[in-house]
């Protein structure tokens, strides 16, 4: 183990260095994509060329076999440049991590032929992969209930029809994992794997949010889409509800936190440059950075971001080591997201009108971090769950 550690460290450092270089490049494009809402296709071509799209794919399938710690570090560097690109990437990583976990544990959720196809496509090209779960009527399935998206058996195929919201990266995806229920007398619930280019798949360009505009999280409508019977994951009685494995939750919560932490760190760095360069006449040539009140506020921002840094690094390492409790990921998501928002709010207080001017990146960073609150389950729901668990355990 000791002899192998330098090699592992060198590999991870190389991935992080490449991600950091790409993050700087993506920063130059971020304002354009924020303004236009255009899909960041060129950025994913660059990620492919940098050999980062296959980061978490199993080595047996041609990937690097990286764990959550390496994926977190890469996502944070990409998010520093453009959190929208990082969010699409984080979803891709989370989906492939689920394949690796299922096969490693022998759960049989993933049909072998399907796992091989998706993994090898990701290992050899820019084959992005994400899930489609939220619906107009249901909302997020994390709140309970069954989807209206229906899988109807027809010979050797399932026919999928339904309407999904907020499908992150939709125009760039190669594969979409669609949550649907069967029309059987006793319905089953599962993830139906559909190529984005399949007949009957239609993207409706509805995504026009305050921030995170380049995630292109449009609606996707499925009309009688044919899916071979074996191309279904975790098909189980619908009465059991949607079951999320702690592994999937940890990847999702951690990488979402990484996305908004990256945006907050970019805001901090812009703020520091602004404060050092801004020299109001009232200060006799001194910079805003010389003021004790400013230094205290910047220190408060630094405490928030250093807390995030420690939590993200230590929790992802513990997860990879198998020592993280199941509840840790929920805590990480809540703290990191809340700290990111607080950090950028403090930056706005220090800069005043300058921070809200569209010509300054801080305004974009602020809009982006506010979008951290839309990811279900909400922090208030997670806190409520934690509170109930504590109260019930101490009755």
Instruction: Give the tens place of pLDDT for each residue, 192-235.
Output: 999 999 999 999 999 999 999 999 999 999 999 999 999 999 89
Note the Cα 261 to chain centre separation in Å. 12
Task: Provide the CB-side half-sphere exposure for 313 (13 A, CA).
Answer: 6
- What pLDDT does 1 receive? 32
Taking the C-alpha atoms of residue 28 and residue 22, their distance in angstroms, rounded to an integer, is 10
- What pLDDT does 383 receive? 86
- What pLDDT does 269 receive? 98
Structure tokens at 184: 């059987």
Task: With beta carbons less than 8 A apart as the criterion, state whether 164 and 135 touch.
Answer: yes
Residue 2 has pLDDT above 50, yes or no: no
Query: For the chain, which residues make up each domain, given as ranges?
Result: 5-126, 132-240, 246-393
For residue 338, give every residue at least 6 positions away whose Cβ sits within 8 Å of its Cβ, in sequence order, or none.
379
| Rounded mean pLDDT, 33-50 | 97
DSSP E strands in 196-231: the ranges are 201-204, 218-228
For residue 309, give every residue at least 6 positions away whose Cβ sits within 8 Å of its Cβ, in sequence order, or none.
261
Taking the C-alpha atoms of residue 216 and residue 206, their distance in angstroms, rounded to an integer, is 9
- What pLDDT does 4 receive? 36
pLDDT band for position 8 (cuts 50, 70, 90):
low
What percent of the chain clears pLDDT 90, i.e. is strictly above it? 81
Q: Which CATH class is domain 132-240?
A: mainly beta
| Rounded mean pLDDT, 100-109 | 84
Q: Which CATH class is domain 5-126?
A: mainly alpha
Taking the C-alpha atoms of residue 331 and residue 353, their distance in angstroms, rounded to an integer, is 34
**pLDDT tens column, 223-280:** 999 999 999 998 999 988 887 888 899 999 999 999 999 999 999 999 999 999 999 9
Structure tokens at 231: 């191309």
Taking the C-alpha atoms of residue 217 and residue 208, their distance in angstroms, rounded to an integer, is 9
Lowest mean pLDDT among 45-49, 89-93, 322-326: 322-326
Residue 106 has pLDDT above 50, yes or no: yes
| Rounded mean pLDDT, 326-350 | 95
Residue 358 has pLDDT above 80, yes or no: yes
Query: pTM score > 0.85 for this model?
Result: yes
- Checking DSSP bridges between strand 150-154 and strand 157-167, what pairing results, if any? antiparallel
**pLDDT tens column, 123-181:** 998 899 999 999 998 877 777 788 999 999 999 999 999 999 999 999 999 999 999 99
Q: What is the mean pLDDT of the chain?
A: 93
CATH topology of domain 246-393: Butyryl-CoA Dehydrogenase, subunit A; domain 3 (1.20.140)
Task: With beta carbons less than 8 A apart as the criterion, state whether 128 and 172 touch.
Answer: yes
Which carries the bigger pLDDT value, residue 265 or residue 7? 265
| Rounded mean pLDDT, 308-331 | 95
Residue 7 has pLDDT above 50, yes or no: no
């Amino acid at each position: 183990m000791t002899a192998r550690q330098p090699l592992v460290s060198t590999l991870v450092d190389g991935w992080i260095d490449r991600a950091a270089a790409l993050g700087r490049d993506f920063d130059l494009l971020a304002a354009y994509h924020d303004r236009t809402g255009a899909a960041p296709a060129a950025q994913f071509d660059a990620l492919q060329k940098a050999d980062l799209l296959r980061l978490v794919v199993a080595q047996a399938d041609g990937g690097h076999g990286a764990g959550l710690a390496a994926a977190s570090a890469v996502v944070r560097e990409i998010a520093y440049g453009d959190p929208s690109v990082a969010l699409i990437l984080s979803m891709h990583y989370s989906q492939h991590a689920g394949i690796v976990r299922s096969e490693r544990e022998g759960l049989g959720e993933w049909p072998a032929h399907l796992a091989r196809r998706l993994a090898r496509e990701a290992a050899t090209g820019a084959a992005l992969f994400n899930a489609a779960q939220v619906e107009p009527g249901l909302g997020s399935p994390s709140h309970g209930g069954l989807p209206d998206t229906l899988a109807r058996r027809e010979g050797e195929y399932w026919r999928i029809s339904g309407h999904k919201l907020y499908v992150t990266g939709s125009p760039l995806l190669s594969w979409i994992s669609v949550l649907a229920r069967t029309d059987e007398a006793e319905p089953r619930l599962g993830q139906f794997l559909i190529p984005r280019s399949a007949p009957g798949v239609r993207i409706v360009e509805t995504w026009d949010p305050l921030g995170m505009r380049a995630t292109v999280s449009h609606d996707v409508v499925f009309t009688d889409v044919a899916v071979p019977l074996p191309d279904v994951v975790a098909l189980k009685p619908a009465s059991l509800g949607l079951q999320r494995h702690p592994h999937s939750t940890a990847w999702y919560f951690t990488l979402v936190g990484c996305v908004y932490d990256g945006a907050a760190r970019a805001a901090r760095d812009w703020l520091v440059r602004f404060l050092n360069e801004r020299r109001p006449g009232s200060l006799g040539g001194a910079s805003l950075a010389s003021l004790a009140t400013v230094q205290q506020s910047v220190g408060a921002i630094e405490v928030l971001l250093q807390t995030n840094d420690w939590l993200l690094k230590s929790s992802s390492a513990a997860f990879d080591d198998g020592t993280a409790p199941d509840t840790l990921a929920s805590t990480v998501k809540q703290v990191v997201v809340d700290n990111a928002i607080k950090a950028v709010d403090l930056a706005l207080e220090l800069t005043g009108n300058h921070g809200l001017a569209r010509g300054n990146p801080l305004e974009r960073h602020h809009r982006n971090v506010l979008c951290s609150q839309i990811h279900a389950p909400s922090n208030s729901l997670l806190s409520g769950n934690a509170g109930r668990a504590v109260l019930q355990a101490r009755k």
